Amino acid sequence: MKKVLLLTVLLSLSILTQAQKSTRIAYIDMEYILENVSEYQKAQAQLEATVSKWIATAQEKQVAIDALKSNLDKERILLTPELIADREADIKVLEDELYQFQQEKFGAEGLMIKRKQELIKPIQDQVFDVVQLIRKAKKYDYVFDKSSKEIMMISANDKLDISDQVLRRLKSDEKRADIKRKRKKKSKKSKANKAPTEAQQKNIEARNKTLETRKKALEAKKAAALKAREARIQKAKEAREKKIKEREERLKKNKK
């Protein structure tokens, strides 16, 4: 119904254009534009990588289920009805889990659709913003999307296609943003490499002096603790040797 209504609108506008030469119409091919935008390509690659992992997980689950089914078929003749029922119940649980996983990832409201919208919507918004700018600058009354499922465009004049204009503007904006990022990065690097002022240098030196003082104090404390420990060990050694000597002398006296 929507297609019929939109087609009717297009035909009506075309008739008005021929009659009054006042209504200006243009169209874009969103699919063509997105396929030529680097950010969209990166988003697609990111989504495909995630989907590939999900597919691999689903395949692993299916292989495990198939193996259990195969083993059950081979051993069925040797099993009691109760054991067969238990194994079939286990397989059913795994099949339900796989179905739930597939729906969660690939269903109509699954994560794949949501991720695609999250990744692509910002880029689509950029396209719509550029289309609005061009529409206002060129004073178009209507701009349609040729690739939209809501529009059944059978034929159109290529001169009305402003897709390349949109692409050029997007790439120009992308270049400006890239230059801005590089300048910002260069500015940060320049600030990092910039020689410190006299006040900053004094602060650095004072901080280094404080750290050095703390380091020396800590080393002195460690040395004192080590010396005290060695003294305790030596004292204990001397006390032990004294006791041994005294015992030996007592033994000599007793023998006499």
Half-sphere exposure of 139 (CA within 13 A, CB side): 2
**The model's pTM:** 0.52
In terms of pLDDT, which residue wins out, 34 or 100?
Answer: 100
pLDDT in tens, 13-69: 554 455 455 788 888 888 888 888 888 888 888 889 999 999 999 999 999 999 999
Q: What is the pLDDT of residue 51?
A: 93
Query: Poorest-confidence range of 89-93, 135-139, 141-145, 236-240?
Result: 236-240
Report the percentage of the chain scoring pLDDT > 90: 18
Q: What is the pLDDT of residue 92?
A: 93
Query: Poorest-confidence range of 63-67, 88-92, 112-116, 158-162?
Result: 158-162
In terms of pLDDT, which residue wins out, 57 or 217?
Answer: 57
CA distance 199 to 168: 50
Token pair belonging to 115: 């991720």
Q: What is the pLDDT of residue 90?
A: 92
Token pair belonging to 203: 């602060």
Q: What is the pLDDT of residue 65?
A: 94
pLDDT at 4 over 50: no
| Torsion sign across C-alpha atoms 132, 137, 142, 148 | negative
Q: How deeply is 60 buried, as exposed, middle or buried, from its count of CB atoms within 10 A (0-12, 13-18, 19+)?
A: exposed
Token pair belonging to 186: 């260069």
- Identify which of 163-172, 186-195, 225-234 has the greatest average pLDDT: 163-172
Q: What is the pLDDT of residue 16?
A: 47
Token pair belonging to 159: 């001169």
